[in-house]
Amino acid sequence: MARRKKIYEGKAKILYEGPEPGTLVQYFKDDATAFNAEKRAVIEGKGVLNNRLSEFFMTGLGQIGIPTHFIRRLNMREQLIRQVEIIPLEIIVRNVAAGSMAKRLGIEEGTQLPRPIVEFSYKDDALGDPLVPEEYIIAFGWASQQDMDDIVSLALRVNDWMSGVMYGVGIKLVDFKIEVGRVWDNEFPRLLLADEISPDSCRLWDIETGQKLDKDVFRRDLGNLTDAYTEVAKRLGVMPSNVTHRPKPTLIN
């Protein structure tokens, strides 16, 4: 088989040309990075878990009518997606103060916010993905006012669904980041939820114990990241099938 063309290699994923025009294959690596890639490690099994978990979240969101780039999972580490023009923003929704927000405003981490807050940072690694106001986004033409209105309402719907699903398995959705892209259907632009939704891009705290079950485990050296992600996958009933697979015994009469 001819080698697939690599389109892009990022910190956590690789994009390959897909089997049909307008499609890509998204490969989930085991690489973990934090603090704008100053801290790095290879964490065995992370890619497999994130592929599964992102499939789970994107499929569920698709079922409540949120358009996503996800087409289908291909194997343990790869999924087929629709190619989009990524809007160069990280769209962050926060329910509880944590991370950069807690630091910036001097709010104690864990403080419930008065309502979900949506914020944007400009995707530019060299600049450290700076926080930007909507005014900049529109002025610089990264997205239109209509796009921004649609993005905020999409982000809040994602937040409501994700919060409910996680609450159901005893996990608090503290905050998360999404990316959105544009596709063209007969000259009409449409926005799709893209990239990934996984414990790499969310903050997830156990409701009972406050235990962190997300990438902060890696950022802050709190233990084994694969164990934390496996716990999330287990609770959601999304365990990777053949990781613990053993052939079934055959009954002989």
Ligand X SMILES: Nc1ncnc2c1ncn2[C@@H]1O[C@H](COP(=O)(O)OP(=O)(O)OP(=O)(O)O)[C@@H](O)[C@H]1O
Chain residues in the site for ligand X (CB under 6 A): 8, 10-13, 15, 24, 69, 81-84, 86, 123, 125, 179, 181, 194-195
Q: Which tokens is 108 given?
A: 């104690």
Instruction: Please state, in angstroms and as integers, the Cα–Cα distance from residue 92 to each residue in 114, 139, 152, 182, 184, following that order.
Output: 16, 20, 10, 18, 25
Give the residue closest to ligand X by C-beta. Answer: 10
Q: C-beta of 77: minimal distance to ligand X in Å?
A: 13
Choose between 97 and 121: whose C-beta lies nearer to ligand X: 121
Q: C-beta of 201: minimal distance to ligand X in Å?
A: 9
13, β-bridge pairs: 28
Q: Which tokens is 230 given?
A: 């496996």
Q: C-beta of 127: minimal distance to ligand X in Å?
A: 11
Choose between 181 and 199: whose C-beta lies nearer to ligand X: 181
DSSP code, position 35:
T
Choose between 71 and 107: whose C-beta lies nearer to ligand X: 71
Choose between 59 and 111: whose C-beta lies nearer to ligand X: 59
Q: C-beta of 123: minimal distance to ligand X in Å?
A: 5
Cβ within 8 Å of residue 174, ≥6 positions away: 94, 95, 96, 98, 202, 203, 204, 205
Contact 104, 121 (CB under 8 A): no
Contact 211, 240 (CB under 8 A): no
Q: C-beta of 193: minimal distance to ligand X in Å?
A: 9
Cβ within 8 Å of residue 77, ≥6 positions away: 27, 28, 29, 47, 48, 51
Choose between 86 and 113: whose C-beta lies nearer to ligand X: 86
Question: What is the pairing mode between strands 131-132 and 112-122?
Answer: antiparallel
